[in-house]
Structure 1
Amino acid sequence: MSFIYHLISTILLFWHSAWDRLLDAPHALATDWAWVLGIVFLVLTIRVVLFPLFLRQVRSQQAIQRLQPRFKELQAEHQGDRVTLQKELAELYRREKASPFGALLPMLVQIPIFIGLLHVLRHLNPAITDPGTRTLYGWSEAQFADASRAELFGAPIAAGFNSGIGTVHVVAGVLIVAMIVTTFLTSRMSILKTGWSENPQQRTVQRVMLYGIPLSLLVSGFIFPVGVIVYWTTQNLFALGQQIWLNRRYPATPPVEPAAPAVPAVRAATTAPQVGAKPNRGRRASR
């Protein structure tokens, strides 16, 4: 994880330095805006880099949506035979280049980045006095001292809800609510676009995204530093905007109807006379 810590630190320090030079009033409203905007633009940098994965996620979701009628057909065909059903579904996914876990891929990629930021912000502890520790991951002494004192509306960005500071309770509490709400809305928008899947595996993934992740944030948000909650909330707001744009850019495609069963050809009885046969004119009337 050392590489991730260095990468996060490099991007964060770059954007802090850029905003520190650009802002006329870097300290206003009891906020160190250069550090806060550094975290915001860290999010934007990561989202831009990961955009191809999000685009792949949308295409995979659209493919699964198109295949819903085929899923139902396979479930009816292999009812009671779960092994064969899973085998047929896997073959269908492979053939159509779709994945029931495509929605989780961007999230899985972001987990190391999130852990890296969490570690870096927790590392910004003013009580640390060892120069070697303070200058880990490419930080200078001055940068460490400045970041460890950085605040958002009076709450240190490296402090968590359980720090015992009243201002942190207010700021972190508001951000935790915003983080949970935006996480739920992002997942809900994605699911409403594709609809609830008929595939049990995909439906489970959708439920985890819609309910499980927001509930987990309700617990973990109380131990996250303020800067990490800023990161997550900013990411969700960006994701909402990105999802709206993708929905317009890549509208839902009509579902693929199940293939009609083959009907065997039936030889129709011919009534045409054979070649050379005399036409049947019936009996001649007796004279």
Structure 2
Amino acid sequence: MDAIYTAISWILLRWHDLWSKVLPDGEVLGTNWRWILAIISLVITVRVILFPVFVKQIKSQRAMQALQPQVKALQEKHKGDRESMQKELMELYRKEKANPLMGCLPMFLQIPVFLGLFHTLKRLAPGRAEKWQTLYGWTAEQFESASSAKLFGSPIPAHFTSTAAELEKLGGTTVGVKITAGVLVAIMIATTFLTSRQMILKTGWSEDPQQRMIQKLMLYGIPFSLLISGGIFPIGVVIYWTTQNLFSLGQQFWVLRKYPPPPMAGKTGTGTQKTSGGSTAKAGTGKTGTGKAGTGTAKKATGKSPNGKPNLTKNEETPAGTIGRALAPRPGAKPNNPKKRGPARRPAG
């Protein structure tokens, strides 16, 4: 892991050197913006490096979506036989070169960066420069500068659960650190949830049980774990994670808008369509209305009712032009509901 710690430290320190030249006096609002911007720049550097992996993630998700009808068919075929279903699913993924684990690969690749920054910031403390100055390429001046760096008066090596003795060494207060760290952890949890939710809303829930389990883990499991573990993250690490989430939200929004996911199989619109016979039908429902006489089709008469009218049965059709003749009373037949009428008047003379 030393190689990872050294690489992360090198990127962080190079960005700090650059921002020190841009902002010679970087202390504003109790914040050392040179170190804060160096951490944000570290996020951007890592995300640019991992952008090709993110593109592969999107392509893999598109491939998984295209396979959803076949996945659903396999689930119906092997209902109750999970072992056979998983075997055929793996064969299908291998044949179509789709990887259900690709969806969370970028997150796994960023874990070493997170651990490297966490490991480095945990060792920052004033007066310890001689012990750590040669570790991972840090100089004594850089170590002391990072140890005293603050965000709105809260030291970036401090965390929500830091003791009063630790905060005294770092030059922070208990109330200030708890407020700053608490707000940042809440934002970190919210943006982590929104990042996963954004992707799932655009691509939909997977039909594959394994892929769906991964989606639920990313949507609910990771934010819940941060609620528990976020208290021990240094403020600098929380800044890194929150910035990464905000970057992911913007990146996903752009990619999903430029390359929208394919429409899910079996989904159609909800509007109405006109049939060739003049009737209307709801898209995706298969329900049609009745056509107009003379232009559409009508139900066929099969048999007669006691009152002399033909019975109509469903799913049988006859040309609509014969409806009038089929329903008209026979010559000489009495009407079903004769109305009482007075004697017919003879025309005058």
For the aligned pair, the TM-score class normalised by the smaller chain equals 0.7 to 0.9
Relative to total residues, which structure has the larger helix share, 1 or 2? 1
Superposition map of 1:1-287 within 5 A: 1-128=1-128, 131-163=130-162, 164=164, 165-255=174-264
SS at match of 1:162: coil
**Greater strand percent: which structure?**
2
Which of the pair has more CA radius of gyration? 2
SS in 2 for 1:111: helix
Query: Displaced runs of 4+ in structure 1, greater than 4 A?
Result: none
How far off its partner does 1:254 sit?
3.8
Of 114-123 and 90-99, the range deviating more from structure 2: 90-99
Alignment RMSD (CA, Å): 1.4
Q: 2:187 & 2:45 partners in 1: Cα distance?
A: 21
Partner Cα distance (1:169, 1:210) in 2: 26
Counterpart contact for 1:180–1:218, Cα < 8 Å: yes
Q: Give distance in 2, aligned partners of 1:127 and 1:230.
A: 24
- Partner Cα distance (2:80, 2:33) in 1: 60
Q: 5+ residue gaps in structure 1? A: 258-287
In the alignment, is the contact (CA less than 8 A) between 1:178 and 1:233 conserved in 2? yes
Q: With structure 1 as the length reference, what TM-score do the two structures score?
A: 0.86
**How far apart are residue 86 of structure 1 and its match?**
1.1
Residue 119 of structure 1: how far off its partner (Å): 0.3
Deviations 1:107-162 (A, max 9, x none): 11111111110000011122525x24233110111111111000011000011111
Inter-partner Cα distance in structure 1 for 2:217 and 2:81 = 26
1:241 Cα offset (Å): 0.1
Instruction: Verify the 8 A CA contact 2:32 2:150 in the aligned structure 1.
Output: yes
Name the count of aligned residue pairs: 256
CA distance in 2, matches of 1:85, 1:217: 34
Q: Distance in 2 between matches of 1:64 and 1:27?
A: 49
Distance 2:20 2:49 in 1: 24
**Take 1:157 and 1:255, find their aligned partners in 2: how far apart are those partners?**
46
The CA deviation string for residues 92-116 of structure 1, in whole angstroms up to 9 with x for no partner, is 1112221111111111111111111
* TM-score (normalizing by structure 2): 0.71
Q: Deviations over 1:196-230 (max 9, x none)?
A: 11111111101100000001111111000000000
Note if contact 1:67-1:256 (Cα within 8 Å) is conserved in structure 2: no
Alpha carbons 1:50, 1:106 under 8 Å: kept = yes
Question: Which residue number in structure 1 is paired with residue 306 of structure 2?
Answer: none
